[in-house]
Each structure stands twice: as C-alpha cells, then as structure tokens.
Structure 1
Amino acid sequence: MADTINLTAEAREEFGKGASRRIRRQHKIPAVLYGRGEDPIHITLPGHDTMLALRQANALLSINLPGAEEKLALPKQVQRHPVRNTIEHVDLLIVRRGERVIVAVPVVLTGEPVDDVLVNQDLTELNVSAEATSIPAQIEVSIEGLEIGAQVLAGDVALPEGVELQDDPDSLIVSINPAIAVETMLETGEEEEAGEVEETEEQDAESAAE
C-alpha cells in the first residue's frame, strides 16, 4: 500500500488566469480542495514536490495549511499543459481515514509466457473499492508460463485484503495469442504494398508510352 505524502500548502486569495500564471511562474501549482460537504479551499502547492507526488497513481496526500487542520486528499483531476506536460492545476478530493473510495488502479503484468506468443493486454487499469489509506499502488497480474489461448479475467485476479473489484468480473485483462498471426499480417501487408507499388509503376509506364 502507498504511504501518505506530506505537502505544505499556502492559502490562495487571488483567482483568475492572471493569478494562476503568476503562481506557476513562482514554480508553484494552483489547486482546490473539496468534498465531504465542505466549502472549497483554494490553495497553492509546491511545484516540484507536487509533481513528484503525482507520479504515483492515487497518491494519498496529507495537505498541511498554516493555522488549519491536516486534510487527507486524493487527486481527482490533474490539468497539464498540452505541449510541455507540466501541471497547471490540481483538483483534490477530501477523504477520511477508514473511508472507502472507488479508484482506478494500474495493472502491471509480471512473469513471462511460453515462447513465440503474443501478449494482448486489454485493460491497463482496474476499478476497485478500497479504504482511502489502503489503496494499492498497482495490481499485479502474473502471465508466467501462460500458453496460447490462455486468458486472465478481472474476476481471476487476487486482490489485496480489503480491496474489492468494481469492474465486471468477466472483463478481459490479458490474452495469449499465436505470434504467427502478427507475422502473417505483416507479410500480407508487405505483399499488398509491393503490389500497389508495382501497379503504380505499370500505370506510369503506360502513361509515358502514350
């Protein structure tokens, strides 16, 4: 389970695009805390520390504001610059210890299947319910020794204690297929491309003759 990450925030009293640009020029990030019926709290977060924290999926953040009580929060929405990919704004959902939340957790494949097969991963995340303080950082799915035709469904995955699946148990996570199917597709594509080139050359020759 992921550890709580502490971030020291500052209260934010200026709003609008101009204020947000000034905050970002100071290498800080504008953010808002909301949820549980509380009024939204507009804050400023340290840029570098927040960027590192949000590299972790479903990072549980402990937000410390001077003169206020600690707020536990999960990232709800992270807005990034379309070109630079820097964080522009963060929406944080307030949670409490022991409270269950539904989150999407990354699926990581482990192990190696038999030789000469193709691994198709249909789901890269699973939606689960877990206590806010016990969200798994990732869910591992073993494909060790799997042969052609093998499939792993969402319902087949052993989840950590206290974590409950929210997706359809019959949802396909990964399947093992013959690698030759891909090779055949590639060869077919190359043959079609060669045929198109040959046909174009013939048409050019006929046009030149005319």
Structure 2
Amino acid sequence: MAEVTVPVKLRSEFGKGAARRLRREQQVPAVIYGHGAEPVHVSLPGHELMMALKTPNVLLSLDLDGKNELVIPKAIQREAIRGFLVHVDLLTVKRGEKVTVEVPIHTEGDLAPGGNLLEHLLNSLPVETEATHIPESVTVSVAGLDAGHSVLAKDVVLPAGTTLAVDENAVVLQVVTAQAEAPAETEAAEGAEG
C-alpha cells in the first residue's frame, strides 16, 4: 500500500465555532492519537483528505512539527446529506507495527446456474496486518457455488503477513435459493376480497 502525503496544520482553537470556521476554509478538523501520547489537534485540507480516503485503510504521511508521522484513519464523520468530511480521528502507527483493520471483500466468478443469490454476511473482513502493508481488499471466488454453500473466514486467502482478527468459522458469504414471487393475479384477487 502506498503512503499518501497530506499537508497538516496544528490547531490552537477548539470547539464548535472554530470547527465551523475551519470547514468554511475547506479544512477538516482532526485529532491524532495513539502510543500513549497526548492527542494532537490538527486541520487537514478537505479535498486532499477526501481523495486520500477513497482508498480503504489508507496510510497517511503527515509532516508534523518537522517530524514525519504515519497515521491511519480510525473514525470518519461525514455530513449526513452532502457527505462532506466533518471530523477525522487518526491513529499513529509505526513501521513494522501490527494493526487491526477491516478489509473490503470482493467476489469473482459466477454462481452455479439456477437463479441462486449470493448473500454477503460480512462486507469487510477484520484482519491483523503490518501498518505499512495493509491490503486494499481480499478476493473470494464464488465460481460454481450452489444453494446451501457458504464461504467461511478461514477459506479466504489472505496476503502474506496478514491474519484473521475474527473467528475462523465466521460465515463470510452464503449462497441461498431465490424466493419465487407470488403471481400478481393472486394478490389482486386477495385485495378485491378484503
């Protein structure tokens, strides 16, 4: 995974009013914490941060007081309607350190013929991996699976150095039989009787 460098500024003003002023200036208030250090309040440029966060579990490189800090997003708050970034919590990490993150699950292949449906019980898989080698996603083959089959967490092939952070028997995906819809005539007849 590549590191994304984002410019950062220290914040000295706190509270709702200060946060609103930052957002008007296209900045996003953020807090950096971790490793027992005091939280550091910063602001990040909104557009650059939004583009960086399009990559799941992105590793951000911040130049903070002349010192390079590696961080990963831990909590992201967005405005409910327009989706603008409101606040971000960032967790400090070190090279070689293991972190627990959720990695998106992608599927490939076609199910067995017969109109079956693929049900995602987990959209992302909790894994433990080195902070600088977080996989962007994991791929699961569903080729030829028929109704009643399921894929367990232990069946998902993980990159080297990555381990599961969830029960290995947790069901990730399952194939279910498609339910037939009742004919429209029957529903109309029932509606006329009632």
TM-score (norm 2): 0.93
Tell me what 1:92 maps to. 90
Q: 2:122: which partner in 1?
A: 123
Q: CA deviation at 1:195?
A: 4.4
Partner amino acid for 1:98? G
Q: Which residue of 1 aligns with 2:36?
A: 37
Question: Residue 122 of structure 1 aligns to which amino acid in structure 2?
Answer: L
Task: Please state whether the residue corresponding to 1:78 is helix, strand or coil.
Answer: strand
How much has 1:134 moved relative to structure 2? 0.7
Q: Secondary structure of the equivalent of 2:67? A: coil
Q: Name the CA distance, whole Å, in 2 between partners of 1:53 and 1:7.
A: 8
Percent of counterpart pairs with the same letter?
42
Greater share of residues in helix: 1
SS of the residue corresponding to residue 187 of structure 1 reads coil
* 2:77 maps to 1:106: no
Output the TM-score relative to the length of structure 1: 0.87
Distance in structure 2 (CA, Å) of the matches to 1:105 and 1:121: 14
Are residues 1:19 and 2:14 paired?
A: no
Aligned to 1:169: 168
Over the aligned positions, Cα root-mean-square deviation in angstroms equals: 1.5
Which secondary structure state, in structure 1, belongs to the residue aligned with residue 42 of structure 2?
Answer: strand
Residue identity opposite 2:182 in structure 1: E
Which sections of structure 1, spanning at least 5 residues, go unmatched?
A: 201-210
Q: Find the counterpart in structure 1 of residue 153 from structure 2.
A: 154
Output the CA distance in 2 between the equivalents of 1:62 and 1:160. Answer: 23
The residue number in structure 1 matching 2:182 is 187
Q: Which amino acid aligns with 2:67?
A: E
**Pairwise CA distance, 1:114:** 1.8
